Amino acid sequence: MALEKKVLEKLAEILENSKYTVVLSGYGMIIESGYPALRDGDISYDIEQKYGYSLEELLHSSFYSTRKELFFDFYRNEILKPLDIPPGKGFQILKEMEDEGLVGQIITRRIFGLPQRAGCKNVINLHGSVYNNHCPHCGKAYPMEYIRDSTKVPLCEVCNTPIKPDIVLFGEQVDNSVITRAAEEVSKADVLLVLGTKLSSALCRQLTGYYEGSKLILITLYPHYSDKLADMVINQRVDDTLEELITYMKKKRND
Ligand SMILES: [Zn+2]
């Protein structure tokens, strides 16, 4: 469904006049890219049937500590396998917006590295990325492929210690310096663009409190009662909306 002309005009005007726009990129954007909706009832039920544990248990730090073989079995099959799916249109457009100076910073809790894979440069991964892994003993870094191509528990080539993906598991704290950096970015923002999540999500609860402006724009498909906290709400797909917006802005510039 196309945006109303006046909404499009308003949105374009806000972004063009923004001195610094920060994006909070949520779960909806990875779903639009075609990634499995792991939180979806059916999928999480299937995972529980297949592994005998819930998603939250499987991704818990204590599970990683005590059941490494099953952890990596699950991790390779359910977390790393979808990486074959490229970043969707929404991320491609964010890259374009970044190149054009319309977006200054992207912040996400999602661990698939999709903004970076689309070419975005200024990205804060609050919960880390599956593309970074290291040996907790000697610190040697390992690429995602090393974990993906392993058949058992992936071990460090130097010291034989099991490798740890640099993602925040349940029961682990997010690195304080990362949160501080994200909070600083949000506090600097003239426009805060919240994409593919609701304002009551963990990502927003963690960061929107630092926003001091009055242009919090929410673009997300599913309406939610917390939408009213935004200054502008568009309940549509993020990728289609951004595409429409960037097309409009380019056309206007060329007119
Ligand atoms: Zn090592």
Q: Which domain holds residue 47?
A: 39-84+132-167
**Are both 218 and 255 inside the same structural domain?**
yes
CB 215 within 8 A of CB 190: yes
43 and 136 in a common domain? yes
Q: Ligand 1 is a single-atom ion; what residues have CB below 5 A from it?
A: 135, 137-138, 140, 156, 158-159, 161
How far away, in angstroms, is 7 Cα from ligand 1 center? 54
- pLDDT band at 95, cuts 50/70/90? very high
Residues forming the active site: 127
User: Does residue 42 surpass a pLDDT of 90?
Assistant: no
3-state secondary structure of 88: coil
- In this structure, the answer to whether residues 207 and 153 fall within a common structural domain is no
Residue 60, SS3 per DSSP: strand
Nearest to 253 by CA among 12, 91, 20, 14: 12
Least confident of 40-44, 120-124, 180-184: 40-44
In this structure, the answer to whether residues 159 and 103 fall within a common structural domain is no
**Number of domains making up the chain:** 2
- Across all residues in the chain, what is the average pLDDT? 95
User: Is the confidence at residue 183, as pLDDT, over 80?
Assistant: yes
Distance 113 CA to ligand 1 centre (A): 24
Beta bridge partners of 191: 21
- What's the CA angle centered on 193, arms 123 and 198, to 5 degrees? 100
pLDDT band at 88 (very low <50, low <70, confident <90, very high): very high
CATH number of the domain that residue 200 is part of: 3.40.50.1220
CA of 53 to the centre of ligand 1 (A): 29
Task: Tell me which residue of 6, 8, 25, 4 sits closest to 218, measured CA to CA.
Answer: 25
Q: Which two tokens stand for residue 167?
A: 């993602």
Measured distance CA(5)–CA(101) in Å, rounded:
23
187 pLDDT more than 80? yes
Q: pLDDT grade, residue 101 (50/70/90)?
A: very high
CB 79 within 8 A of CB 162: no
Give me the helices (H) in 59-165, please.
61-66, 68-74, 89-99, 114-117, 144-148
Q: What is the pTM of this model?
A: 0.95
Q: For residue 141, what are the contacts with CB-CB under 8 A and spacing of at least 6?
A: 132, 133, 134
DSSP line for 10-36: HHHHHHHH-S-EEEEE-HHHHHHTT--
Verify that 111 and 186 share a domain, yes or no.
yes
DSSP per residue, 170-234: BT-PPPHHHHHHHHHHHHH-SEEEEESS-TTSHHHHHHGGG--SS-EEEE-SS--GGGGGSSEEE
Same domain, 156 and 66: yes
Same domain, yes or no, for 141 and 212?
Answer: no
Of residues 105 and 2, more confidence is placed in 105
- Segment 217-245 shows an average pLDDT of 96
Report residue 20's pLDDT band, with 50, 70 and 90 as the boundaries: very high
pLDDT tens-place string over residues 140-164: 999 999 999 999 999 999 999 999 9
100/46 same-domain check: no
Q: What's the CA gap between 217 and 83, in Å, rounded?
A: 29
Q: Is the pLDDT score of 43 beyond 90? A: no
Segment 78-103 mean pLDDT = 96
- The pLDDT-based confidence of 1 (bands split at 50, 70, 90) is low
pLDDT tens, position by position, 188-206: 999 999 999 999 999 999 9
Give the pLDDT mean for 119-142.
97
- The answer on 69 and 27 residing in a single domain is no
Q: Are residues 151 and 238 in the same domain?
A: no
How far apart are the CA of 141 and the centre of ligand 1, in A? 9
21 CA from centroid of ligand 1 (Å): 40
Cα atoms in the Cβ-side hemisphere of radius 13 Å centred on 90: 27
Average pLDDT rounded to a whole number, residues 25-38: 93
Q: Judge whether 138 and 161 are in contact, CB under 8 Å.
A: yes
Largest CA distance in the chain: 62
- Region 19-25: mean pLDDT is 98
Using the mean position of ligand 1's atoms as its centre, give its distance from the Cα of residue 135 in Å: 5
Q: How much distance in Å is there from the Cα of 16 to the middle of ligand 1?
A: 49
Please state, for a pLDDT cut of 90, what percent of the chain lies above it: 92
How high is the pLDDT of residue 136?
Answer: 96
How large is the average pLDDT for residues 207-215?
Answer: 97
